[in-house]
Structure 1
Amino acid sequence: MLRIRYEVNGGPEVLFAEQAAVPEPGAGELLVRVEAIGVTLPSVRKVREGSEPIPLGGEVAGTVAALGEGAEGFGLGDRVTGLCFAHAYAEHAVVHTAMASRIPDGASAVEAVALVRSGLVARGAYEAGCVRPGESVLVTAAASAVGTYALQYARAGGAGRVVAAVGSAGKAGFVRGLGADEVVLYEDADRGAPYDVILDGVGGDLLAPAVRTLATRGRLVAFSSGGGTVEAYELLVRGASVIGFQMRALALGEPELYDRWLREQWDLHRSGSLRIAVHGEIPLAEAGRAHELIENRRNLGKVVLVP
């Protein structure tokens, strides 16, 4: 099978295509014949910043081709999507049943990798922020896969003002179409301050200045892999909070809530209330091009690899 690997850390130029043996599913695992792979910012950062090369994990969608011992709840031929923590950039991938879900009839594999994880992260971040009707919400990385859904949840949830923070002015029309009332560039994010809630998908050097734009008793929800440092004094003077959110913790710790949100999300999509934004479908062998899109902040929505 075709698989993407990298040997040294660096940018998209270090990704290579290779032939590899089809993996065997272990206990409680599914072997998925992959039809679509969602490219995530954490994977892009691992290639650029990781201490040493590791298998590229990520979101996959396709058809169950084999079942490991004790893999219950699924059968051969089922169409599923889920997180693969080993080699996701491949024509076949292994997914544990705890991280897998069925793709509804009528939905494509591309739609599944674009909606499931990114939409659930956005829902979780929105819920963690406890947004009240009429409050102002700033969404960073608003044109990203998660950001597109965060905008829609904030708009539908009754936020009084939804502000999208993006890296370039060319994305303004796109994010306005998803519910943003205002659009700001990162260097001008304090222009619309203070914000009651910030849903932050960037982290890193942006985290500290974002906290300084919070209103009294404001909440910042950090859900990115970018890290960052917050001064306790900035929280004290505002009576503000920083809340962390991770989807894996919810999926494993509260599976019933995870399943309910998943069902609701597909229902919202079918009704037209939750739009899927896919930047494009890129051949698996050209994974470097997909990473370059995200690294240069040129994507509008989800970037998807297709074998």
Structure 2
Amino acid sequence: MRRVRYESPGGPLFLEEAAVPEPGPGELLVRCEAIGVTLPVVRKVTEAAEPIALGGEIAGEVVALGEGVGRFGVGDRVTGLCFGHGYADFATLHESMASPIPDSATAVDAVALVRSGLVALGALEAARPEPGEAALVTAAASGVGHLAVQLARLRGARRVVGAVSDPAKAAFVRSLGADTVAVYGDESWGEPVDYALDAVGGELLTPALAALAPGGRLVAYSSGGGTIRAYDLLVGAKSVIGFQMARIARGRPESYEKWRRELWRLFAEGALKPAVHGEFGLGDAARAHAAVEARSNLGKVVLRP
């Protein structure tokens, strides 16, 4: 089979021939039909001290089962998070991380919706939104952000502000339901918001916090780091909430499953519409990474073996 790999920090990414993996206990072997490209994986390629296995979101057909698998069978269509080599024709997926793909959805729908949607919905839940509140979503055109904009509106936000890196993304973000689109560096984001979902971090944390009304909540779920002054929290009685999807998956599996069901329900009803920026072949993985790293994508970037 084909697999994407790299040998030194920063790449380059290249295709190699590798043996089809054997599923271990509790694992499924999946023929990959779609693979989601995420910013954390892109950052690890450039920042990790040693090369990592390119894992992430995969979707496809189960072709073999490891010992002890009970929930799925050969021929089932599944999606989930692969912690090994996921940029490949075949990949292993632990049964606990897998969920079925409805007949009405494609593999591309699945990788565009489920993992990114879980992060978006989980961050929104952490913000404890109330109907009639105003919301700010940073990285509003990203794989997670474009779903967060829609979910905030579905949860009753009276006003949604989408923040982006490039004004060329404004029309796309407005089409998702945002009332206002702001560009990083321009802090005139309109009236204060009640909560902010931040996927960028770094230097954007301070203006995102400043955009909050007194008592507002900032949910930080970025891998981009950054610092906040305690004084800025104190004077406005504001709060910052850290959100990590892995912690939910490990410690609150009932919430994880509940959110997955909600995402598929909203998708089936046509209320939540994942957008795909582009579909790249395995040999074009470097171009897919470049699109995500440059934050030029509108929606999810997907590899199609």
Short-chain TM bin: over 0.9
Report the equivalent of 2:151. Answer: 153
TM-score of the aligned structures, taking structure 2 as reference length: 0.96
Amino acid paired to 1:9: P
5 Å matches for 1:143-182?
143-182=141-180
TM-score of the aligned structures, taking structure 1 as reference length: 0.96
Instruction: Give CA deviations for 1:201-251 in whole Å, capped at 9, x if unaligned.
Output: 111222233223322111111112212222222111111111111222222
The runs of 5 or more residues in structure 1 that have no matched partner are none
5 Å matches for 1:93-108?
93-108=91-106
Between the aligned partners of 2:187 and 2:174, the Cα distance in structure 1 is 16
Instruction: Give CA deviations for 1:155-189 in whole Å, capped at 9, x if unaligned.
Output: 12221210000011111000000010000101114
Report the equivalent of 1:255. Answer: 253
Between the aligned partners of 1:191 and 1:70, the Cα distance in structure 2 is 53
Preserved contact between residue 189 and residue 211 of structure 2 (Cα < 8 Å): no
Report the equivalent of 2:195. Answer: 197
SS at match of 1:114: helix
The answer to whether structure 1 residue 110 and structure 2 residue 108 are counterparts is yes
SS at match of 1:221: strand
Between the aligned partners of 1:266 and 1:164, the Cα distance in structure 2 is 24
Amino acid paired to 2:26: G
Report the equivalent of 2:3. Answer: 3
Identical positions, percent? 64
Question: Equivalent of 1:238, from 213, 236, 239?
Answer: 236
Between the aligned partners of 1:127 and 1:190, the Cα distance in structure 2 is 27
Report the equivalent of 1:62. Answer: 60
State which drifts further: 242-251 or 35-44.
Answer: 242-251
The runs of 5 or more residues in structure 2 that have no matched partner are none
SS at match of 1:191: coil
Amino acid paired to 1:109: A
Q: Which runs of 4+ in 1 moved over 6 A?
A: none
Deviation, 1:72, is: 2.1
Between the aligned partners of 1:230 and 1:27, the Cα distance in structure 2 is 44
Question: Equivalent of 1:37, from 35, 38, 47?
Answer: 35
Report the equivalent of 2:69. Answer: 71
C-alpha RMSD of the superposition: 1.3
Between the aligned partners of 1:160 and 1:77, the Cα distance in structure 2 is 44
Question: Equivalent of 1:82, from 58, 80, 83?
Answer: 80
Closer, same or farther in 2 for the Cα pair 1:189/1:57, shift >3 Å? Answer: farther
State which drifts further: 248-257 or 142-151.
Answer: 248-257
Between the aligned partners of 2:220 and 2:66, the Cα distance in structure 1 is 35
Question: Equivalent of 1:125, from 99, 123, 126?
Answer: 123
Instruction: Give CA deviations for 1:54-79 in whole Å, capped at 9, x if unaligned.
Output: 11111000111111122221111111
State which drifts further: 134-143 or 227-236.
Answer: 227-236
Deviation, 1:193, is: 5.1
Preserved contact between residue 142 and residue 165 of structure 1 (Cα < 8 Å): yes
SS at match of 2:85: coil
Report the equivalent of 1:17. Answer: 15
Between the aligned partners of 1:207 and 1:56, the Cα distance in structure 2 is 29
Between the aligned partners of 2:291 and 2:133, the Cα distance in structure 1 is 33
